[in-house]
Amino acid sequence: MPKIVDHGERKKDLARALWAVVEREGIEGATIRSVAAEAGWTRGVIAHYFRDRDDLLLFAYRLALQREQELGPTSETPPLERLVGVLLRALPVDAQSRLDFKIWLGFMGRVADHPALAEAVLEEHQDYHGRIRGLVESCIEEGILAPPWEAARAASTLATFVDGLGVMAALDPSTYSSVRLEQEVRDFLQSWSPHGTATRDASLPSPSDSDAPSHGVRD
């Protein structure tokens, strides 16, 4: 009887091999050859599942986004903390999200010359914007936040702020620790508090106390 191959799981195995290469060698080191060697398969096997390196990168990127969503706050979490959690999962706050952020930065360096890749990444980013918008709307409805614009523009502003914060963290990781990143996000949301109510969790340590974010992101 021929061996039954789970093609979906095999693609995930290749994505995990790519993550391992990126973690060790950076995005430029993640070639078809290096990923094949990491997975213990031939380049022909990868060619069977992916058109080229960008196709493999995109699959790994989407799988990483799915993983980050699963690790984020649950629906039982209050909307403000869910919003903070979603924003922080897009930042390099722990070992896993730092790896995912490396992949995202690698994409940003390629999208200008690859319109199809840019379109695919934009589609994923729009889904991210949609989740932020939904949480902003919930916070507005509950009177927790009162941004100066409608929810859609507020969500776009938050996403832009977090993108810029992530770039600063990549450039200066010693300054932008996980605690600093969480503080920056909470301080930004604090500026939208309707009555000056603190949005920063009282249990959040000061940057000198710890380098682990307070909402449960792992390292």
- DSSP conformation letters of 22-51: HHHH-GGG--HHHHHHHHT--HHHHHHH-S
CB distance 71 to 199 below 8 Å: no
Q: What is the percent of the chain where pLDDT is above 70?
A: 83
Tens digits of residue pLDDT in 197-214: 544 443 333 333 334 444
Which residue from 63, 66, 91, 64 is spatially nearest to 215, judged by alpha carbons?
91
Q: What is the pLDDT of residue 4?
A: 58
| E runs forming strands in 77-150 | none
Q: Nearest 5°: phi and psi at 176?
A: -95, 75
% the chain with pLDDT above 90 = 38
Q: How confident is the model at residue 112 (pLDDT cuts 50, 70, 90)?
A: confident
Q: Are 89 and 71 in contact (CB under 8 A)?
A: yes
Structure tokens at 44: 């022909």
- pLDDT of residue 168 exceeding 90: yes
What is residue 192's predicted lDDT score, i.e. its pLDDT? 95
At 71 the pLDDT is: 63
pLDDT tens figures, 17-65: 988 888 888 878 888 999 999 999 888 889 989 988 888 888 888 887 7
